[in-house]
Chains A and B, each alone.
Chain A
């Protein structure tokens, strides 16, 4: 157990103590280190101007992740390696390509874009096989229209650095926990369970993609924080024929591939949650535990029949995911309890699964409506239906009336219509910045109406459409 934060910055150990544990990495870089290359564009993880790379030793490899340093607390770097735009020296191929392709205009977003593309060139998490547009979805640029940046990215080869020395240096650091000034980084799940019994009032933080804003925007005091991001035995992804089990510390990015294999719609949904930087920090269990009514994963997971394991001390209980959400801002989590894992059954061949996210912008936006459907079919009849929506109520919620309209009926256009009409009994959505109650109800119904066309190959979405070629 250490009382000082230790991490590698450009290969040199930094030791930091005696600070407010909610100091962000960005503030520390700019104010303490004078590294002003990383910019604050929004201080909420939405613009990417502060993007840095964090490296960690995982299963004998150095894994780099692009993250938003504006909502990353400094203690979260403990035992990790950090690279900033200054680490590149100015002549890196990514930097040269950005200059040659006219990829910067005002230049303020540029360091963040350089870091995202640098991450891509290293094969950082979430970049392998990804479209460049997806790699850059978390980097807003207001000047260029992105074309020159995409051209620059295409011109840079993907070639991992030789990180052996850095990896060896990281592995030298015994990975114990960290504990100082109200910050606790337990090293094991048991340690976490014990700490939570001792400090049931502590705030659990995994990726800080939500809690980070409590600090940067709301200036809330967080006297006790238990950080679970570094807990190895909560980071497991168990992928079997029956389904997927994700530990509490599993980030969106870590599970993206496995979720996509569970069902392509789930992979596509994850692609549209936040952006690379957010998915490299935020966890699926965190998105559940914070009880957000507009979190995108819960409706999808509820439709798929997911359950969660809650743990308090040595006791565990398993809960159907929909039962965890009691009311707006209220979840079935007792003091000292934490979400230990999430279990998602694999859809069977006789099931039709569709997950649809509707938002003003396709990437890095929060849903107006997120709908998920899982229908079980036998001989042309619907024998079971699980339908869940986000954005339609104070909690992610199933649609019993719509489900009832489907179960027992023949799978066809008219059953979809019946289910769509029944939604009015299930939901009385609110009007907010993301959509009106009317829009939400109509669009949710139309998600169900579209099912039939899609299942019969008559569908397609605006995202799959291509320009007319004549």
Chain B
């Protein structure tokens, strides 16, 4: 692929501009789905939900539901005209249960009422007779029963048995990692408005409008063209609205088509948390052989995840865990066995990092284990294992061509004074009666592209109007990550106009069709490039006209400062648009982009699934109380390689926000299910995401200045959405160090599980002491 023209307008691309919606956010005038004025006769919806984790439905008596005040209609699976499916890949998620329920909270029937309250109250009145079946609710139970959503996947390179057998040192370890609730502040919501002649318009808070369109059409026996999905913005998503939004939109669409009335489903927070999938929890084992310097010779992983009751995106998520179990480290001989266990719990789904964090953290635990055993600085062990010349092949046979983690780590080691602080912490730990500190510097290497190759495509649609205003549309959705402003910066730059000339509008399936989810950190890479192409096409047309009038070559036409200059001609951009209209030149164009170079063979788990890697590094310092188990992150220094940033302010926001979210996953955020598979932490009263005071008092966040994508991405930028999440592994690793200091036995291997709640920290200290004695 050839080099793109560089940005031409100062203060647009690479500038730290504020989020386009920020003035609306602060004024309360930014419209989310539930804020849009409600149409006449709107019905409000709620699900009747299963109380059993696994059962046959013997009977459903809904007479009381139907008779409840305000209830207009009640629907069951039998009312669905088309396919009763809201699942993206495997067609195994029902909108409404048929004869089987497979998790506590699964929707059984759908109530449409005149108010939200009436719908929710009535939904509790169903009389359901169940025939309970044995329920598998944990990884351990599913492993024992052999319940899987697909056969185990194995990725291997080299002879790991031999490498392990011959290694001078060999250790095994196991740890457990909790899941994570997305806790987007805006819960799931969708409003469906029936149009004329069996058409449907749906406002939804979704990352994946096209998939929603196709699923709704199928469910209602409509054609894709009959259904339009519109998304202006989401109040946070983080992967939780990639597939999960369909459930609510499908319910609203069903009611709208059945009753002819508009219908809105706004889930209560507790219901949202029960009804929708979360980050996969993992049980991870490893067997590692290494040498005196801590260099890995052979490594075998056993990665087990809880997928929940259906397939959802679990195959790709667990694949991504395998892709990241090397992190930044060369593994001469490796075998990664991945079990995707089926349980009778809500189907787990995409969440920022998409399995990557669960894979990467395993590599970091291996590093900490080796370092503990050899009594080395864990950073030295990490550096000894980095990819490098002659050590550049991943477990899936992709060559790492763009490795810079070593440079980031060295820079951060110096700027954060890692060595000095590590020594000072050791001294502190020798003297304090019960507080212990830990510090850790961990790197991140995150593969960029959807690993399902065909998804790496995007479209854009740009209209120019005769007043010079620009209507920008593309397939990407805005969830707060600043995609819209970045793409607008790219487009305004092409035309040499101020950003205010660009009207950012809702994402709609009738503008740009057949799009991929805004996911995998790919939003700007894909949509920015598609919009760039559309803008270039239009600019080409305008330049040709201008050149003709000025008697010069199109290449000589300059677009800058809202003006267009060629030869003696110097007119405003608006005048040129108007001129083009008079000259019957089309002022509308589409752009398209497909990521080059990538390919992947899932049968052998080999190929080049990623166009490039995003890198980062972080140092975190923590303190723990060995009596109460409480912990706190006191300082963190983050360094992220985002290439040549399109918008450094937006990117810094992603880095900091991602880190804090990752820290929450590994510390305070604990999902607790009871023995029967019921989620007990289904509200912010019991599920604790970080608050302002959990942010480390010292937090230094930087973008790596030399960063430049070696691949010709849009203006040489790199993806930023997910990679910073994994910078938080440094917090967990630092906690591991603090626990080791509390155990106080050199050579004791780490035992800390995640999330590192006070209880787990005390348990890890106790386990460490027991193992060492």
Residue numbers of A with Cβ under 8 A of B are 30, 34-44, 46-47, 49, 84-86, 88-90, 94-96, 98-100, 102-111, 114, 131-134, 136-137, 139-150, 217, 219, 275, 356, 358, 360-366, 368, 432-436, 439, 442-443, 446-447, 449-450, 453, 458-463, 465-468, 470
Contacts and interface: CB of A to CB of B under 8 A. Distances in A.
B235 interface: yes
11 contacts: A35-B28, A43-B269, A107-B235, A108-B184, A140-B684, A142-B183, A142-B689, A217-B270, A217-B683, A358-B628, A467-B697
B443 to A, nearest CB: 20
A47 B185 contact: yes
Contacts of A100: 18
Contacts of A150: 692, 695
Contacts of A136: 691-692
Given A102-B18, A105-B236, 17 more contacts: A36-B31, A41-B185, A102-B19, A106-B237, A107-B24, A140-B689, A141-B185, A142-B661, A149-B692, A150-B692, A217-B268, A360-B670, A360-B688, A361-B690, A443-B758, A461-B625, A466-B697
Contacts of A111: 25-26, 28
A465 B438 CA distance: 13
B631 interface: yes
Contact of A439 (B420, B684, B758): B758
Interface string B741-773: 000000000000000011100110000000000
B656 interface: yes
B691 A140 contact: yes
A29 B624 CA distance: 45
A363 B19 CA distance: 29
B22 A107 contact: yes
A106 B234 contact: yes
Given A102-B18, A450-B627, A142 B184 contact: yes
B151 to A, nearest CB: 35
A88 B27 contact: yes
Contacts of B183: 140, 142
B578 interface: no
A461 B657 CA distance: 27
Contacts of A459: 433
A460 B187 CA distance: 40
B41 interface: no
Given A102-B22, A458-B433, A443 B694 contact: no
Interface string B607-625: 0000000000000010111
Contact of B27 (A37, A144, A217, A365): A37
Contacts of B432: 460
A36 B762 contact: no
In order of increasing CB-CB distance, the 9 nearest A-B pairs are: A37-B28, A106-B480, A108-B235, A107-B25, A145-B660, A446-B627, A90-B27, A105-B480, A46-B684
Given A47-B684, A95-B26, A147 B656 contact: yes
B585 interface: no
A110 B236 contact: no
Contact of A470 (B28, B420, B649): B420
B723 to A, nearest CB: 15
A80 to B, nearest CB: 21
Contacts of A98: 22, 25-26
Contacts of B22: 98-99, 102-104, 107
Interface string B181-211: 0111111000000000000000000000000
Contacts of B425: 468
Given A144-B653, A146-B660, A462-B632, A37 B29 contact: yes
A223 to B, nearest CB: 15
Contact of B186 (A102, A106, A217): A106
B14 interface: no
A217 B270 CA distance: 8
Which interface residue of B22, B628, B758, B759 has the most chain A CB atoms within 10 A? B628
B344 to A, nearest CB: 20
A131 to B, nearest CB: 8
Interface residues of B, number: 101
Interface stretch (B116-124, B307-315, B326-334, B392-400): B116-124
Nearest to A86: B28
Contacts of A449: 627
Given A47-B684, A133-B693, A105 B420 contact: no
Contact of A108 (B185, B630, B668, B688): B185
Interface string B268-304: 1110000000000000000000000000000000000
Given A42-B684, A462-B624, A468-B425, A107 B480 contact: yes
Contacts of B653: 102, 105, 143-145, 148
B28 A36 contact: yes
Interface string B231-244: 00111111000000
Interface string B7-45: 000000000001101111111111110110100000000
A143 B690 contact: no
Contact of A144 (B421, B424, B479, B656): B656
A181 B270 CA distance: 29
A94 B649 CA distance: 19
A314 to B, nearest CB: 39
A453 B185 contact: no
B681 A433 contact: yes
Nearest to A272: B693
B124 A219 contact: yes
Contact of A104 (B25, B184, B656, B759): B25
A391 B307 CA distance: 33
A450 B628 contact: yes
A231 to B, nearest CB: 28
Nearest to A136: B692
A49 B270 CA distance: 16
A470 B417 contact: yes
Contacts of B681: 433
Nearest to B674: A433
Given A41-B185, A144-B657, A363-B693, A462 B684 contact: no
Contact of A465 (B27, B120, B623, B701): B623
Contacts of A458: 433
Contacts of B632: 362, 462-463, 465
Contact of B628 (A39, A95, A364, A447): A447
Given A38-B28, A108-B236, A147-B699, A44 B684 contact: yes
A443 B629 contact: yes
A84 B233 contact: no
B685 A107 contact: no
Contacts of B661: 142, 145
B707 to A, nearest CB: 20
A85 B28 contact: yes
B154 interface: no
Nearest to B629: A443
A169 to B, nearest CB: 24
Contacts of A99: 18, 22-23, 26
B654 to A, nearest CB: 8
Contacts of A38: 28
B422 to A, nearest CB: 9
A467 B695 contact: no
Contacts of B424: 468, 470
Given A39-B235, A106-B234, A146 B26 contact: no
Contact of B121 (A43, A219, A460, A468): A219
A147 B480 contact: no
Given A90-B26, A433-B686, A42 B269 contact: yes
B634 interface: yes
Interface string B486-501: 0000000000000000
